[in-house]
Every structure is written in structure tokens, then in C-alpha cells.
Structure 1
Amino acid sequence: MLDRPPSCNSSNMAGQEDPVQREIHQDWANREYIEVITSSIKKIADFLNSFDMSCRSRLATLNEKLTALERRIEYIEARVSTYIYACLLFYDLQRVFVCIFQRVTTIA
């Protein structure tokens, strides 16, 4: 906080302030108010900066996890499609062998 000058802490002997002292008191009150507001704004800015950094860090972590999950999904999709292709190929080969077997048995 700001230190008030000694003349602002006491009144004159009559118990009343002259206009200059009243203006000085008002000026110091305004300065103290401005200092409180400035301090509050700095605290809010510090909080927002801290919150921003925290959110960015958490979002980066989530992004890494999502990327890893996407890679796993692509891998699983590739494995499944390979398996399906192999099954279809086997099914087609089986049909070919059945056809060949049927022709061989009809010829014989």
C-alpha cells in the first residue's frame, strides 16, 4: 500500500480540514483504490495465464492419447480387413476346389 504523508493522518487544531487537506485525503483515497483495482487485475491476469497454461497442457495430453487411439484403430481395421480378405479368398478357393472335385468325379 501507499504511505500517506504525515499531514494526511491528522487534522488541524480546529478539527476541520481545509480544502487543500481534503483534496489531499481524497487523492490518497483514490490512489489506494486504484492500487487495489490494479492489484486485483494483476491477480486475475495471473490466474487466467495459469489457467490457460493448464488447459493447453491437458489438451496436449488428450491430443497425444487420441492420436495413439487413432493409430490403434487403424491397425485393428487393417487386421480385420486382412482377415476378411483371407476368409473370402479361402471361401473362393474352397468353391474352386468343390467345382474341380465335382468335374473330376463326373468325368471319372
Structure 2
Amino acid sequence: MAKAGMTNTIAIGIAVQSNWDNRQFSSSRSLNVHRLFEFLLQSESATKSKMAVLNEKLTTLEQQLEFLEAQLCTAVDPS
């Protein structure tokens, strides 16, 4: 009978260890997903900011080009 009790204790110990391992794995995975999500949010924010700056520069260049085209047309055809 003592052997059966010992077997049950070992089985319970193994189950507890397995449960603990599963919880650690799950927690680790959850933390990694959270870190990935935070990284993606930061990347999105940085990308939007850089795109806004590039858009402003492109708009300025387009305006300068239109101005130069107008000057060229006036210089070539003054009528």
C-alpha cells in the first residue's frame, strides 16, 4: 500500500511540474507577443512620422517644380 501512495505522490508531482512548465511556456509566449505588438506599434508610429516629413518635402518640391515650369513657359513664350 505504501508503494501505491508513493506512486500517486510521484504522479501528482509530475503533473504539477508539467502544469508549471506549461504555465511558464504560456507566460513566456504571452510576454513575447506583447513585446512584438509594442514593437509594431512603435514602428507604425515612426513610419507615419517619417512619411509625413517626406510628404511635406515632396509637396515643397512639387510646388518648386510648378513654379520653375511656369517661369520656363513665360521665358520661352512671353506673350
Class of the TM-score when normalised by the shorter of the 2 chains: 0.7 to 0.9
- RMSD (CA atoms): 1.4
Name the count of aligned residue pairs: 72
- Give the aligned partner of residue 7 of structure 1: none
- Deviation at residue 20 of structure 1 after TM alignment: 1.4
For structure 2, the 5+ residue unaligned runs are 1-5
For structure 1, the 5+ residue unaligned runs are 1-13, 90-108
CA–CA separation in structure 2 for the residues paired with 1:76 and 1:18: 86
Partner SS state of residue 56, structure 1: helix
Matched, 1:63 2:55: yes
- Deviation at residue 18 of structure 1 after TM alignment: 1.7
Matched, 1:43 2:74: no
Matched, 1:79 2:71: yes
Give the alignment's TM-score, normalised by structure 1.
0.62
Superposed, which structure 2 residues align to 1:15-34 within 5 Å? 17-34=9-26
Q: Which has the larger radius of gyration?
A: 1
- Structure with the larger helix share: 2
Aligned residue identity for 2:43: F
The ranges of structure 1 where at least 4 consecutive aligned residues each deviate by more than 3 angstroms after the TM superposition are none
CA–CA separation in structure 2 for the residues paired with 1:66 and 1:34: 47
CA–CA separation in structure 1 for the residues paired with 2:21 and 2:74: 79
- Deviation at residue 21 of structure 1 after TM alignment: 1.8
Same amino acid, percent of matched pairs: 26
